[in-house]
Structure 1
Amino acid sequence: MVTNLPHAEVSDNADQNRFELRLNGDLVGILGYFDAARPSGVPGQNHPVVDFLHTVIVEDFGHQGLAGILVGRSLDIARRRGWKVRPVCTYVQRFLGTNPEYRDVIVPLEPVRRRA
C-alpha cells in the first residue's frame, strides 16, 4: 500500500474523457468517464450525471492502493464541479462500499430490465 505520495497528481483530461493519475509525471492510471451532455474537451460545469466507466492502473503499479487514490480524488473533483456520478465501474462500486462519505455524489445504477 502506498502511503506517502507527494508526487501523485490526479487531473481531468477532458479531451480523452478520463481522469489521469501521474506519479512523478508518469501516467500510471486512468479512470474513464462518459458524459453525453457535453462534447469532449469541455469540463462539465452544469451538474451533469457522469458515468465512471473503468479504472485502469499500469500493471507494475498494481496492488499499491493507487486505484483507490485515483477514484477518491476523481470523486472529489466531481463533487467540486457539482457532478453526480453513476458508478458503472465495479472497482468504483467497491470503493464506494467502503467510503460512504461520497454518497452525496452518487446516482444509483438503474436495474437492467428484461425483455418479455
Structure 2
Amino acid sequence: MTDRIAVRGITAHAHHGVYAFEREQGQTFRVDAVLDVDTAPAAATDDLALTVNYAELAQGLHAVLTGEPVDLLETLAQRLADTCLADPLVQAVQITVHKPEADLGVPFDDVTVQITRSRG
C-alpha cells in the first residue's frame, strides 16, 4: 500500500511546441505531479529526510518545465516523470502537463497529456 503526495499547478512560461511561433513567443504550461510514496517512516519519526521534500520537487519540476524546449508534451511529461523518479523514495508518479494556450483553431479550456511511470 502506498500513500500519495501531490503537487499541482506548477506554472511557468516556456517555449515547448512544434511550431516556430511557440518556440519564439512561448506560452503558459502547468504541471501536476502525484507521487506514490510510503510516508509511514516519515510519519513515525517526523523526519523530512524520510519522505519527499515537495519544495525541492516543485523546484526541480519547474526547472525542467522552463528548461530545454521540446516539440511534444509527451516528451516533456517523460522528463518530468524522470525527475520525480530520481528520488529513490518515489515508487511511481503520475504527471499531467497542461497547455491551456495551445492554438487549436477552436475554443477550448485545456490540452493535457497525462502519463504514469513506475520503478522497474
What band does the TM-score fall into relative to the shorter chain? 0.3 to 0.5
TM-score when normalising by structure 2: 0.32
Which structure has more RCO (C-alpha within 8 Å, separation ≥ 6)?
Answer: 2
TM-score when normalising by structure 1: 0.32
